Amino acid sequence: MKVNKNKYDAIIIGSGAGAGPIAYELSKAGKKVLVLEKGPWFKNDDYFKDEIVSSRRSVYTPNLKDEPQVIEELNAEGEWEAKSNADSGRDFWNGSVVGGSSNFMSGYFHRMKPVDFNLKTQFGEIEGANIVDWPIDYKDLESYYDKVEKVVGVSGESRKHSTLEPRSSLDFPFPPLNENIVSTWIDKACEKEGYSAVRCARAIISQPKNERSSCSYSHYCGSYGCSTGAKGSSRVALLDEALKTGNLTISAFSKVFYLKSDENGKVTEAYFYNKEGEVKNATADIFVVAGQAIESSRLLLASKSDKFPNGLANNNGLVGKNIVFSGGGVGSGDLHKKDLEDKDFEELLRPGIFVNRSIQNWYTIDDDDLGMAKGGTVDFLFEHSNPTGKAIRQKWNNDGTLLYGSDLKKKMKYYFTQMRKISFEVFNDWLPTDNCFVTLDPDVKDKWGDNVARIRISNHQHDIKVGEYLAKRAEVILENLGAKNIKSSISGGAPPNLVAGGCRFGVDPTTSVLDKNCKAHEVENLYVTDASFMPTGGSVPYTWTIYANSFRVADQILKKMS
Condensed to tens digits (0 to 9), the pLDDT of residues 308-318 reads: 999 999 999 99
The secondary structure of 434-486, three-state, reads CCCEEEEEEEEECCCCCEEEEEECCCCHHHHHHHHHHHHHHHHHHHHHCCEEE
In this prediction, residue 399 has a pLDDT band, given cuts at 50, 70 and 90, of: confident
Residue 5: its pLDDT value, please? 62
In angstroms, the CA 74 to CA 69 distance is: 17
Closest to 203 measured CA to CA, from 152, 248, 267: 152
Supply the angle between the helices 138-148 and 543-561 in degrees, to the nearest 10. Answer: 100
In this prediction, residue 458 has a pLDDT band, given cuts at 50, 70 and 90, of: very high
What is the architecture, at CATH level 2, of domain 8-561? 3-Layer(bba) Sandwich (3.50)
Per residue in 106-133, pLDDT (tens digit) is 999 999 999 999 999 999 999 999 999 9
Average pLDDT over residues 232-254: 98
In angstroms, the CA 286 to CA 267 distance is: 8
Q: For residues 88-116, b (16+ Cβ closer than 10 Å) or e, as one string?
A: eeebbbbbbbbbbbbbbbbbbbbbbbebb
In this prediction, residue 3 has a pLDDT band, given cuts at 50, 70 and 90, of: low
One-letter amino acid for residue 437 of the chain:
F
Burial of 49 (0-12, 13-18, 19+ CB in 10 A): middle
Give the Å distances, CA to CA, from 393 to 231, 403, 489: 29, 11, 16
Work out the mean pLDDT of the chain and round it to a whole number: 95
- pLDDT over 70, % of the chain: 99
Residue 369: its pLDDT value, please? 87
Residue 424 · residue 380 · CB < 8 Å: yes
pTM of the model as a whole: 0.96
Residue 472: its pLDDT value, please? 97
Average pLDDT over residues 496-513: 96
Per residue in 377-386, pLDDT (tens digit) is 999 999 888 8
In angstroms, the CA 10 to CA 35 distance is: 9
In angstroms, the CA 270 to CA 31 distance is: 18
Q: What's the half-sphere exposure (Cβ side, CA atoms, 13 Å) at 217?
A: 13
Length of the chain, in residues: 562
* Residue 522 reports pLDDT greater than 90: yes
Q: Would you report the helix, strand and coil content of the chain in percent, each value rounded to 5?
A: 30, 25, 45
In this prediction, residue 55 has a pLDDT band, given cuts at 50, 70 and 90, of: confident
In this prediction, residue 87 has a pLDDT band, given cuts at 50, 70 and 90, of: confident
In this prediction, residue 59 has a pLDDT band, given cuts at 50, 70 and 90, of: confident
What are the residues whose beta carbons fall under 8 Å from the beta carbon of 345, sequence distance 6 or more?
A: 337
Residue 446 · residue 478 · CB < 8 Å: no
The sign of the dihedral angle between the CA atoms of 494, 497, 503, 505 is negative
In this prediction, residue 4 has a pLDDT band, given cuts at 50, 70 and 90, of: low
* Residue 53 reports pLDDT greater than 90: no
Burial of 415 (0-12, 13-18, 19+ CB in 10 A): middle
Average pLDDT over residues 25-37: 98
Average pLDDT over residues 281-304: 97
Residue 90: its pLDDT value, please? 87
Average pLDDT over residues 449-468: 97
Residue 52: its pLDDT value, please? 81
Backbone phi and psi for residue 105, each to the nearest 5 degrees, phi listed first: -70, 160
In angstroms, the CA 88 to CA 86 distance is: 6
One-letter amino acid for residue 383 of the chain:
E
Give the Å distances, CA to CA, from 1 to 13, 240, 270, 359: 15, 14, 16, 45
One-letter amino acid for residue 560 of the chain:
K
In angstroms, the CA 250 to CA 273 distance is: 14
Residue 1: its pLDDT value, please? 53
Domain ranges of the chain: 8-561
